[in-house]
Structure 1
Amino acid sequence: MSWPMPEGAVLGIFGKKPEPGKVKTRLAAEFGSDFAAEAHEAMLLDTLEAWGSDRFLAPGGRRVFVFAPGDAGPWFDPIVPGTLAMQPQSEGDLGARLRSFIEGEFAEGASRVVVIGSDSPTLDPSIVISAFLCLDQKDVVIGPSTDGGYYLIGCRMPVPSLFEGVAWGSAKVLGQTLDRLRGSGRSLAVLPPWYDVDTPDDWRLLGAHVRAMRLSGMDPALRRVEALLPRVLPEAEPR
């Protein structure tokens, strides 16, 4: 049964146009830039399809795909589910773009904002729902990722200091964000750790995770990702 988002709740999904050489460069180091772009596209579109449907979330609240680069709207228009609003990311580093989106949503009347990316396609939907529920009691919610960053961040009011002076793309992101939070005086809820898919080993983990879900009788609902897995992971061939 899908969960009804509270009035004023916003789910933002950040994603980039899948251009070879501009996305998943660490994945490309082993598998090539064309495959890396295909993998990025598969994860992004599977993520948008999942959160744009009523499988996890009932109608209500606001769901928005926040895309980059700013001129990629025409490319995304025909493939993004109509249930998702669309808007371009602002300029600047990831912190500036997150801050701009979150502050913009609160300026438009949001009561809580949760942001995820497209790099964690197996992310348990109950974790995202828990993030919204945590914001009933806490000011900020964070989902730590196994690479030292975070796969989710949410707030019930703007906390601009969270996004300042952070070494984005490094293993220091989570620790530095917590340092900024400590100085803000805001309260924190922490979600279970999860993994992003950025490196060849992450892709192997994703393949094994999807295979395990299938073997256990679960449908991962990642049709594009599953179609790509055997291209570089022969063990992922259906048996």
Structure 2
Amino acid sequence: MKAFIVFTRIPLEHKTKTRLLPYYTPKQCVGLHIAMLKDLARTLNGLDASVKTYIYYLPEGDVSIIKNIFGDDKTYREQRGEDLGDKMYNAISEVLAEGAEAVSLSGTDIPLLLAEDIESSFTFLENNDIVLSPTEDGGYYLVGMKKANKEIFDIEGYGTGSVFENTKQKIEDMGLSLGTGRRLRDIDTKEDIKAYYGIIRTDLDFRKTHTAIFLKENKSIAIIIPTYNEEETIVSLMNQLKGIKDRCEIVFVDGGSTDNTAKLIEESKFRLLHSKKGRNNQMNLGALSVEADILFFLHCDSTLPPNPLKEILDLMEVYRAGCFGIAFKSLSPLMFICRYISNHRVFDRKVMFGDQGIVIDRDLFMEIGMYPDLPIMEDYQLSLTLKEKGIKLGMARHRIYTSTRRFKGGPIRKLRLMWKMNRLRAKYRRGVNIEEISAMYKDVR
């Protein structure tokens, strides 16, 4: 008989995944643990029928929580021992004494663990005394043996970055043969979670797992809104945001409005910061004031689609930066053309503008130096910088509607303005002084 032992805690707040606090709340830590247990249960169900599974758990909480996940066909036992090494030795020794020919043991925080990894550990044991499978952080997530050996668990500093190497050295010093499984990443820290965001973007199979879905849905979002003389639009936007304010952080950054904008912002519901004028200054201040995983820069004259947070999470599941498509509250054929050109530009020229609602990974935003110190074209330069770094842009499923206050007048005036904006961008690309370009761009507020 071959046996596989799972070492786990019962998912309880303030007991499980505590190294993720305060990045995750205690409730989120439990949710992540449960998601990983569900994925492991599916992996165990894919094992060869000759492998018997044991679940060894810490004696705290209601064991029915994990029984409901793993099923009644597993053998459940409490962990015994003073420390982790002692507990692992006792479990392996116990199962070997019951007639198992080979035993492998693993924890529950390796989302990429496959049935093949477990079964290959038994293959290694056919020709080796010990098998170890390393983690990215210097530990190991799987250990297997045919004879109980207490000495290899007498390693100081479990949870440090030298456990695998120290254990490997001890095995070699004892004259035992070692088989090594593939290296995988566990989830213990905020940095591990961020690494798994990258895996989600590239691994379609992993994207379907309980763990990946949980990680995606629990990304935090901050909405940052620069304001300047927006008393005509601010109330409408706040009304849209009230329905989602409990699921994200919302920060208004006023650039010295001379009207009633700042007074109208409901500080009991939203955060209000003050900055010198300039969208770049305002948005950078807002970004520095939050810890969210995702930054969403939104203009005040925007109308959001239904479920904007879900659209953002869906977008950022695959991309590190992107935007919503744009539409205008106008039946003018020219505005339909402007809409088409703006949305097509995201994929054709890799350029997005602020009125499309820019969405970006916070770490990426900080890595590129935030918005550049420019009085105008800050969103254009942001896109150019992302393009230089090879960052692909995505687009959310639905559109943001924005006002046409800059496009007042008849068709001729609209065409002239569109041509002017195109010319200003061309001047910027040619290196024309930014103050000269800014002087040509008249603020409509």
Structure 1: unaligned runs, 5 residues or longer: 1-7
8 Å CA contact 2:47–2:115 kept in 1: the answer is no
Q: In structure 2, which of residues 217, 226, 246 is the aligned counterpart of residue 230 of structure 1? A: 217
8 Å CA contact 2:193–2:215 kept in 1: the answer is no
8 Å CA contact 2:132–2:181 kept in 1: the answer is yes
Task: Give the AA of the match of 1:87.
Answer: R
TM-score (norm 1): 0.85
Per the alignment, in what secondary structure is the counterpart of residue 30 of structure 1?
Answer: coil
**1:60 corresponds to:** 50
Aligned partners of 1:83, 1:59: CA distance in 2, in Å?
12
Give the CA deviation at 1:229.
2.2
1:165-217 CA distance string (max 9 Å, x none): 33111112112212321332211111221111111121122233233222xxx
Note the 1:3-14 alignment, pairs <5 A. 8-14=1-7
Note the 1:1-239 alignment, pairs <5 A. 8-51=1-44, 53=45, 56-69=46-59, 72-214=62-204, 218=205, 222-223=209-210, 225-232=212-219, 234=313, 235-236=316-317
Give the CA deviation at 1:12.
0.8
Q: Which range moved further: 22-31 or 225-234?
A: 225-234
TM-score (norm 2): 0.48
8 Å CA contact 2:43–2:115 kept in 1: the answer is no
Per the alignment, in what secondary structure is the counterpart of residue 127 of structure 2?
Answer: coil
Per the alignment, in what secondary structure is the counterpart of residue 58 of structure 1?
Answer: coil
Give the CA deviation at 1:134.
0.6
Aligned partners of 2:207, 2:165: CA distance in 1, in Å?
31
Structure 2: unaligned runs, 5 residues or longer: 221-312, 319-395, 398-445
Aligned residues: 226
Aligned partners of 2:64, 2:17: CA distance in 1, in Å?
22
Aligned partners of 1:232, 1:85: CA distance in 2, in Å?
35
Per the alignment, in what secondary structure is the counterpart of residue 23 of structure 2?
Answer: helix
Per the alignment, in what secondary structure is the counterpart of residue 136 of structure 1?
Answer: helix
Per the alignment, in what secondary structure is the counterpart of residue 108 of structure 2?
Answer: coil
Task: Give the AA of the match of 1:162.
Answer: I
Task: Give the AA of the match of 1:146.
Answer: E
The structure, 1 or 2, with the larger RCO (C-alpha pairs under 8 Å, 6+ apart) is 1
Per the alignment, in what secondary structure is the counterpart of residue 65 of structure 1?
Answer: strand
Quick one: percent identity of the two aligned structures?
25
Task: Give the AA of the match of 2:213.
Answer: E
Assess, with a 3 A threshold, how the Cα gap between structure 1 residues 137 and 10 changes in structure 2: closer, same or farther: same
**2:236 corresponds to:** none
8 Å CA contact 1:115–1:153 kept in 2: the answer is yes
Q: Say which one has the larger Rg.
A: 2
